[in-house]
Structures are given as structure tokens and as C-alpha cells.
Structure 1
Amino acid sequence: MTALPTPRFELPLLQPGQAQKEMYHNEALIRLDLAVQATVLAAGANIPPVDPEPGQAWIVGTAPTGDWAGHARSVAGWTAAGWRFLAPPEGMRAWVADSEGFALFTEGDWLIGVSHGRLIVEGEQVVGPRAGAIEDPDGGTTVDSEARSAIAAILLALREHGLVDTP
């Protein structure tokens, strides 16, 4: 739309002496509406919905058809003037309503419903990527059934929370 768009979301910038500035300004607002605190109804759809409502958005799949053709992996938003497409920048996140989780755009693709690796609390990593499987306690020269029960309970909790893989 303009020769000098913004670098991340390609929002059209107004130029000195430019005619019809309201068109560029309105286009920028529409794209901001799609990008800021992004929320989509679903991710990975390839066929545009038949009767969308203004403000509804989707993450387009890898083989789009119809009005979405040529916009793979974009955020497609329906407006009063038709479809608008936003090419996601690296690191963009969107809430995906139908799966009740986030999608993250990284390395040219959307990671949908995937844990993003770690949890930071007060600047310290407290949870990282899933650890490998840990076997239940077995063997040894002295058997302490209470300690074994406690260790087994801890391992069960870690497995249920997905922090440690199941052997």
C-alpha cells in the first residue's frame, strides 16, 4: 500500500503531501486491530468461512484456497471491506479460541498448542523442557518402603504434569 511500511507489521506510513491519507491511516488501524493482542477463532484452516463477521480472524493453513489463496500462514481477518491479511513477524503470539491455547509464529511456521519451553518466575527459570524418563526406585541393599513410596509419588506427580516423561 505504501513504499515505506513499518518493518514488523507492514503498517502503511503516511508520506508528506500524500493524497487520501485517511485510507492509509485506516488500513494501519485495521492491521493493528488484527495484530495487537491477536485472537483467532481457529488455526490451520485452509478454506475461508462462508459467513464471517467483522472482527473475526483465523490463522491460515499451509494450503489455502478461495479468497485465502496465496496467504499461507497469515492471519486472515474479516472486515467490513473484506479480507485483510497480516504476515506474522517472528515471535508473534495469538490466542486460538477453539483450542483454548496460544499459537507462536517461529522459524516460518505456527506452533499451535505447544509448550514454549520454560517458565520464568522472578527472573529464574523454574520449569524447563521436559526431562527424560526416570525409572521407579528398585533394588539396593537396604529397602526403605516409606522412602520408595515418597519417591514414587513425586515421580507420578512429575509425570502427570508432563515435566518428566514416562518410562
Structure 2
Amino acid sequence: MHFYATLLADGLLQPCAEARGLDAPPAAPVPGQCWIVGDSPAGAWAGSAGALALWTVGGWRFAAPREGMAVWIAEEGLVARHVSGAWRVGAVAAAQLVIDGEQVVGPREAAIDEPDGGDVVDGEARAAIEAILQALRAHGLIDAG
């Protein structure tokens, strides 16, 4: 009983799923392995769509996802988070990005106007500025404007 409880605690406190979206259980699971069940489960997983399926020495154990629950998906090397009734993979929500104690990305700022006018137009400088603006927009750091 103690081993079973330890497996469940490990599987739910720091969940690491082998993969997600499977509708049928794997053929040879190892105790402690976990999967995120697909949308149309069959066999031993029937009726457990979207749940965490944890294999134990006593068979399959299922845990319904809770809002905000995060699971590492080993196959993809990404985190899946359960948000608004669905698993979202690889999406990160944050107010800012801090690296080595320094904020490098914060909330999105207003759009920056394209370069325009001036007495002397430097084509290379304008092209460089436009490329920088395009990159900032592509990364979502400024609005398209």
C-alpha cells in the first residue's frame, strides 16, 4: 500500500507524462509512468478523456486535471498546462521575463511608428530600422501598429 501511495503522490505532485493524446493504453507500461489520455479513449482508458493515466502495480489510476495543473511531456520536452478545460502545450504566461535578476522582457508596449520624412533619407538605415521593427513585432514585443 505504501508503494502505491508513493507512486500516486509522485505522479500527481511533480507529474511527468511520457506523451499526450493517446487513446489506447501502451502495451508494456512500467509502474510510475504516466500519460495524458486523448479525446477518444478506448479499452482500459475508456471514459477518461483528458485525464492523467498513471500505471501502478495495481493497474491504471486516473486523475482528472485541475485548472492550472502543469505536466512535463517527456516526448515533446514541453510543459502542458490545463487551462479552461483543455491542455495547452508549450504556452507560457508571464508578466515579465527576468534573467540573472534583470528584466529583459516586460508587458507589450505601444506600437512604434515606421520611419518617415527627414531631409536626407538613408536607405540602409531605414531598411535596418524596419527589419528591427519587424523582428520585434514577430516576437510579440511590440504591437503591429
Q: What TM-score results when the alignment is normalised by the length of structure 2?
A: 0.75
Counterpart secondary structure, 2:7? helix
**1:33: how far off?**
1.2
In the TM superposition, what is the alpha-carbon distance from 1:117 to its structure 2 partner? Answer: 5.3
Residue among 110, 130, 136 paired with 1:152: 130
Q: Are the structure 2 counterparts of residues 29 and 126 from structure 1 closer, same or farther at C-alpha, using a change threshold of 3 Å?
A: same
Q: For residues 62 and 118 of structure 1, do their structure 2 counterparts lie closer, same or farther at Cα, with a shift above 3 Å needed? A: farther
Q: Counterpart in 1 of 2:105? A: 126
Deviation at 1:84, TM superposition (A): 1.1
When structure 1 is superposed on structure 2, of 73-82 and 120-129 the one drifting more is 120-129
Shift, 1:34, TM fit: 0.8
Q: Secondary structure, in 3 states, of the residue corresponding to 2:40?
A: coil
Q: Which structure 1 segments of 5+ residues have no match?
A: 1-22
Q: Are the aligned partners of 2:4 and 2:57 in contact in 1 as well (CA < 8 Å)?
A: no
Aligned 8 A contact 1:47 1:65 in 2: yes
Q: Which runs of 5+ in 2 are unaligned?
A: none
Residue identity opposite 1:113 in structure 2: G
Distance 1:104 1:157, change over 3 A: same
Say yes or no: does 1:64 pair with 2:41: yes
User: C-alpha distance in 2, partners of 1:27/1:61?
Assistant: 24
Q: In the TM superposition, what are the counterparts of 1:3-152 in structure 2 within 5 Å?
A: 23=1, 28-116=5-93, 118-121=95-98, 126-128=105-107, 137=114, 140-142=117-119, 143-152=121-130
| Superposed CA RMSD | 3.2
Q: Secondary structure at the match of 1:155?
A: helix
Partners of 1:34 and 1:145 in 2: how far apart? 59
State whether residues 118 and 127 of structure 1, in contact with CA within 8 Å, keep that contact through their aligned partners in structure 2: yes
More moved, 137-146 vs 65-74 = 137-146
- TM-score normalised by length of structure 1: 0.66
Contact preservation (8 Å) 1:34, 1:86: no
TM-fit CA distance, 1:31: 2.2
Q: Which has the higher contact order (CA 8 A, sep 6+)?
A: 2
In the TM superposition, residue 69 of structure 1 has moved relative to its aligned partner by 0.8
CA contact (8 A) 1:48 1:68 kept: yes
Distance 2:58 2:28 in 1: 14
Structure 2: which amino acid aligns with 1:144? D
Q: What is the aligned partner in structure 2 of residue 15 from structure 1?
A: none
The total of aligned residue pairs comes to 142
Q: Provide the C-alpha distance between the structure 1 equivalents of 2:97 and 2:67, rounded to a whole number of angstroms.
A: 21
2:4 touches 2:56 (CA, 8 Å); kept in 1? no
